[in-house]
Amino acid sequence: MNKTHLLAAPVLAFCLALGGCGSKPVEEPPLAGATIGGAFALTDQDGRAVTEASYAGKYRVMYFGYTYCPDVCPLDVQRLMAGYRAFAKADPVRATKVQPIFVSVDPARDTPTVVKQFVGAFGAPLVGLTGTDAQIAAVAKRYAVIYSKEAGPKPDAYLMNHSRMAMLFAPDGKPVALLRADESADAVAADLDRWVA
């Protein structure tokens, strides 16, 4: 009997047990079971009413910030979108399953027009969402985002303190992982490659 055939059977059985040779092992997402995310009703950069159902079937990358942010938000969003573009270049098919979303925590200044100008600077497919004070408070609570207003020298010259994180949600709306937008575009691309099926 050929010795190669004797070795092939155990190797084949081992590969089948792992779910196939060469495939990625199934990994539990870090945010699996977390009670964050859920329903929202907001307004997009074109003035249209949207809900979480508007992005059904897509992985959602949710980043909360504000357009008047002097440093952190623009840098994070820049890295987030550069990482998305790198991921899209490497795997255009999987990239079509991802919807990056910027949500304002400063609805008083971030009108749809202002948000449209902000997200436009970072390119498609980033969308921007805003809403009323009550709508923003509700979505922030559901997504475990903390924010507060810091008084400035004039009533309209203030800063917003807020949680700094980009969260990835699966097409069914369940939380998956935090994306490392505070680190680098490469880190974001690697995170998307790891978690987007």
pLDDT, tens digit, 9 for 90 and up, residues 121-140: 999 999 999 999 999 999 99
**Whether pLDDT at 21 is above 50:** no
In the prediction, which pLDDT does 154 show? 82
Write the DSSP symbol of residue 71: S
Q: Which residue segments constitute the domains of the chain, with CATH numbers given?
A: 34-195 (3.40.30.10)
**Whether pLDDT at 29 is above 80:** yes
Q: What is the pLDDT of residues 44-67, one digit of tens each?
A: 999 999 999 999 999 999 999 999
In the prediction, which pLDDT does 151 show? 87
In the prediction, which pLDDT does 14 show? 37
Average predicted confidence (pLDDT) for the chain = 89
Tell me which residue has tokens 């309209």: 156
Write the DSSP symbol of residue 179: E
